[in-house]
Chain A
Amino acid sequence: MLRRNLITIAALAASLAAGSAFAQQTTIRVFSGGSNQRPDLMRRLFDQYQKANPGVKVEIETGGATSELQRQYLSTVLNAKDSAIDIYLIDIVNPAQYFSAGWLEPLDAYVGGTAAMKPYLPVYAQANIVNGKVAAMPAFADAMFMYYRKDLLEKYGIKEPKTWDELATAAKKIQDGEKNPNLQGLSIQGAPIEGAVCTFLLPYWSQGKAFNDAAGKMTLDKDAAVKGMDMWLKLVDQGVMKKNIAEVTTPATVNEFKAGQVAFAINWGFAWDRFKDDADSQVKGKVGVMALPSMPGGKSATCVGGWQWAVSAFSKSKAESAKLVQYLASPASSKFLAVEGSLMPTYQSVYIDADVVKQVPWFKDAANVVIAGQARPISAQYGQVSDAIRTTTSAMLARTKTPADGVGEIESKLVRVMR
Chain B
Amino acid sequence: MFARLRDPSEKTLGLILLAPAFALLALIVAYPIGKLIYNSFFDLRLSGGSDSFKFVGFANYVDVWKDKDFWGAAKNTILITLITVPGALVVGMGLALLANLPFRRKWPVRLSLLLPWALPLSFCGLIFAWFFHTEYGVVNDVMRRLGSGEPTMWLLSPNWAFTAICATIIWKTSSFMALILLAGLQMIPRSLYEAAEVDGASKWQQFWQITIPMLMPSIVVALIFRTITALQTFDIPYTMTKGGPGNSTETLAMLIHKTTIEYLDVGYGSTLAVCMFLLSMCVTAFYLKRIGRSA
Interface positions of A (Cβ within 8 A of B)? 68, 71-72, 75-76, 79, 97, 100-102, 192, 242-244, 246-247, 380-381, 383-384, 387, 391-392, 394-395, 398, 400-401
Contacts and interface: CB of A to CB of B under 8 A. Distances in A.
A234 B48 CA distance: 41
B46 interface: yes
Contacts of A244: 134-135, 153, 156
A75 B153 contact: no
Interface string B231-242: 000000000001
Nearest to A405: B246
B278 interface: no
Interface residues of B, number: 25
Interface stretch (B83-91, B171-179, B255-263, B279-287): B255-263
Contact of B261 (A72, A101, A380, A381): A72
Nearest to B257: A72
Contacts of A242: 135
Interface of B: 45-49, 133-135, 153, 155-158, 242-248, 258, 261-264
Contacts of A102: 48
Contacts of B258: 387
B261 A384 contact: no
- Interface SS majority for chain B: loop
A247 B263 contact: no
A246 B48 contact: no
A79 B47 CA distance: 10
Contacts of B247: 391
21 contacts: A72-B261, A75-B262, A101-B47, A102-B48, A243-B134, A244-B153, A244-B156, A246-B153, A246-B245, A247-B133, A381-B263, A383-B262, A383-B264, A387-B258, A391-B242, A392-B246, A394-B244, A395-B244, A395-B245, A400-B156, A401-B246
Contacts of A243: 134, 153
Contacts of A75: 261-262, 264
B48 A100 contact: yes
Contacts, number: 81
A97 B155 CA distance: 32
Shortest 10 CB-CB distances between A and B: which pairs? A100-B48, A395-B246, A244-B134, A398-B156, A383-B262, A398-B245, A395-B245, A400-B245, A383-B263, A101-B46
B114 to A, nearest CB: 30
Contacts of A395: 244-246, 248
Contacts of A398: 153, 156-157, 244-245
B48 A380 contact: yes
Nearest to B262: A383
Contact of A79 (B45, B158, B264): B264
Contacts of B133: 247
Contacts of B264: 75, 79, 97, 101, 383
A72 B47 contact: no
Contacts of A401: 245-246
Contacts of B246: 391-392, 394-395, 400-401
Given A71-B262, A391-B246, A400-B246, A380 B47 contact: yes
A244 B244 CA distance: 14
Quick one: which of B158, B243, B245 has the most chain A CB within 10 A? B245
A243 B244 CA distance: 16
Nearest to B69: A413
Given A383-B47, A391-B243, A395-B245, A72 B155 contact: no
Contacts of A383: 47, 262-264
A246 B264 CA distance: 27
A247 B156 contact: yes
A143 to B, nearest CB: 24
B183 to A, nearest CB: 39
Given A383-B264, A384-B262, A395-B244, 12 more contacts: A72-B262, A79-B46, A100-B47, A243-B134, A244-B134, A244-B153, A391-B243, A391-B244, A391-B246, A398-B156, A400-B157, A401-B245
A398 B249 CA distance: 14
Contacts of B244: 192, 246, 391, 394-395, 398
Contacts of B157: 398, 400
Nearest to A256: B135
Contacts of A76: 261
B158 A247 contact: no
A106 to B, nearest CB: 14
B255 to A, nearest CB: 11
Contacts of A79: 46, 264
B98 to A, nearest CB: 36
B138 to A, nearest CB: 15
A400 B160 CA distance: 12
